[in-house]
Structure 1
Amino acid sequence: MRIGYACVTIGPEDTQMKTCRQSNSSEALLMELIAHNLAALDRQIDYNIRNGIRLFRISSDLIPFGSSPVNRLPWWKSFEQTLSGIGTKICANGMRVSMHPGQYTVLNSPDPGVVERAVADLTYHCRVLDGLGLDKQHKIVLHVGGVYQEKEAAVQRFLIRCQALPEAVRDRLVLENDDRSYHTGDVLAIASRSGLPAIYDNLHDQVNPDPASEGVKEVIRAFGRTWKKEDGPQKIHYSQQDPEKKAGSHSASIAIDAFLDFTVQLPGRNIDVMLEVKDKNLSAVKCILCTQSGTKIKDLED
């Protein structure tokens, strides 16, 4: 079981991504920022390797304005060697990475402009992973999108537009159940129709449950059947509710007892678990240590 975290590494110096305002985005500044961000990513990967973290989500902010006409640089060529070096390090250490476009990347929108920008954004994310030289086990996580008062029509738009994507992009896509519009049953049906694998998110399932669900363990098994060999091991998202915030808000840290109770429900050990939590790598290290045999109290205190 690989356990990881998303985007931000707390503690190590010079691992933060930088960006700029659109009005200041000269080619020279963009080149400088990209070089900085790739160096920051390299340091994040080094930190993960040192701490036994073999699952990581790369920030979508890696390349400033990466999917926008604002950035017309052929950055994937200019930084080809740097990207390749980072990717080689990822592969050599058995690490799996992913990316997760934001809430405005919506393929099934009725607005053609939104769809055009979504395709550009997915293409950008794919270009990052391709530039790193990674195979299609390294995924781009996507929500189905909105309902727009007519759910089946929205699903149909998603399926059509997904099929029209470049093959390289489509091969990396994986669907996730969300906390508002598409529950686990919806996503399993869409995964079946599209041929895409699906990621189970436990907190989204709690907030937006499928009324016909047969329970967490069976749902995770069903999601696992959407993953083909070439997609790599099944991956899931795990988080805990912040008790002081609205439903679906991630907790500050992972409570170990609840996490260990959850892992008992997993149908096997060959599942990757992405933690979505405010303290990021700190909870990842804690959860990794608590699931390893032979861990001592001193390890947890350190």
Structure 2
Amino acid sequence: MTIIRLGYVAMSVELQNCSPSQTMTFKQFSAIKDREAAIRKLERIAISNLENCLRLLKHNVGNDIHFFRFSSKLIPLANHEELSDWSYMKALKEPLKELADYIKLHQLRVDFHPDHFVVLNSPKVEIVNTSIQTLAMHEALLKGMEVDREHRCVLHIGGVYDDREAALEQFIHNWGFIPQRLQKMIMLENDDTSFMLQDTLYLCEKLGIPLVFDYHHHLAHHENPQWEMEWERILGTWHHSKLPIKMHISSPRSKKDFRAHADYVDLDMFVTFLQSIKGSTPELHCMIEAKQKDAALFHLSNQLSELDFVEQIDQSSFRIK
């Protein structure tokens, strides 16, 4: 028997006026002649984003959702080279503390998926340094929320640079330059164009990093479609983690546009996966990466609740018998 918990990504389609990703471009920032006033405006936007995160978590708790990915766009221009003197965390202390208290009270699992420009296997030192800076910003946010930073940031491996094996070895080389406190945050995900499941397993096993299995990505990009042969190895990458194993679930928009995410999760596709892994692990957290966000979670939850081999625990949690 395996407990399945469903989560969703970043924002709700059910809540109105609750974006956690409100932003400001550097052009807009520069257009404000008083630099201090421009910085205060940036801080107001970031505070509003965090307040909307709290609204989202309250929405989740009201609907029995225990698992959520925060947007990585909470602080506009956080690492812009022209704002290196901006100590943005001081202004965010209070809203982060409110999030901390709420996350603790309801024992929520929260994490991040830093944007695609975080590339740890780049051969360019400046790109790796910028990636480290972005990871440090995520660490500061998690620390402000009083969340244990271990295994809270999902990353892709990075670029192939015309030689996949060399790119994997470049990741291992660069890993030694990543501060240990940031290494502990990282989970790696197989992607849909560059690094397949076996590539990701190679790094995760070598470096002791948990692997977040993306089922849709595997179907879109593989040498061997039989992911089941590697499932025990995937589970093994989580043996040293305090957290239950995490995966991503989404469905193709169409056969022609297979890599794009559909609005909802295809039930048959997900059930095929669940039937293959049931009983292999006590608990599995499934992050829904569908365009309809929480609406996709509710839709999938309703469908699962009607299946004979599924016992519903609450609106987002089930036992697979």
- Residues 266-281 of structure 1 correspond to what in structure 2 (within 5 A)? 266=277, 267-281=280-294
Q: 1:233 aligns with which of 223, 230, 244?
A: 244
Q: 2:106 aligns with which of 93, 103, 111?
A: 93
Cα distance between partner residues in 2 of 1:127 and 1:295: 34
Q: Sequence identity, in percent?
A: 26
Q: Aligned-residue CA RMSD in angstroms?
A: 2.1
**Cα deviation, residue 193, structure 1:** 1.3
2:115 counterpart of 1:102: yes
Query: Larger relative contact order (C-alpha < 8 A, sep ≥ 6)?
Result: 2
| Partner of residue 62, structure 1 | 74
**Cα deviation, residue 145, structure 1:** 0.9
| Partner of residue 208, structure 2 | 195
Q: Aligned to 2:81, what secondary structure does the other structure show? A: coil
2:22 counterpart of 1:18: yes
8 Å contact from structure 2 (residues 151, 184) kept in 1: no
Q: 1:173 aligns with which of 186, 206, 210?
A: 186
| Partner of residue 300, structure 1 | none
* Structure 1 unaligned residues grouped into runs of 5+: 297-302
**Cα deviation, residue 77, structure 1:** 2.6
Residues 1:156 and 1:244: Cα distance change in structure 2 (over 3 Å): closer
8 Å contact from structure 1 (residues 53, 285) kept in 2: no
Structure (1 or 2) with the greater strand fraction: 2
Q: What is the count of residue pairs matched by the alignment?
A: 294
2:276 counterpart of 1:265: yes
**Cα deviation, residue 260, structure 1:** 2.7
**Cα deviation, residue 120, structure 1:** 1.3
* Structure 2 unaligned residues grouped into runs of 5+: 30-37, 315-321
TM-score normalized by the length of structure 1: 0.90
**Cα deviation, residue 229, structure 1:** 4.1
| Partner of residue 134, structure 1 | 147
8 Å contact from structure 1 (residues 3, 287) kept in 2: no
Q: Aligned to 1:278, what secondary structure does the other structure show? A: coil
Cα distance between partner residues in 1 of 2:186 and 2:12: 25
**Cα deviation, residue 268, structure 1:** 3.2
| Partner of residue 299, structure 1 | none
- Residues 21-100 of structure 1 correspond to what in structure 2 (within 5 A)? 21-25=25-29, 26-71=38-83, 72-100=85-113
| Partner of residue 267, structure 2 | 256
Instruction: Please give the per-residue CA displacement for 1:6-39, whole angstroms capped at 9, x wherever unaligned.
Output: 1121121231121112122221111110111111
8 Å contact from structure 1 (residues 203, 239) kept in 2: yes
Counterpart residue type for residue 126 of structure 2: G
Residues 1:136 and 1:220: Cα distance change in structure 2 (over 3 Å): farther
TM-score normalized by the length of structure 2: 0.85
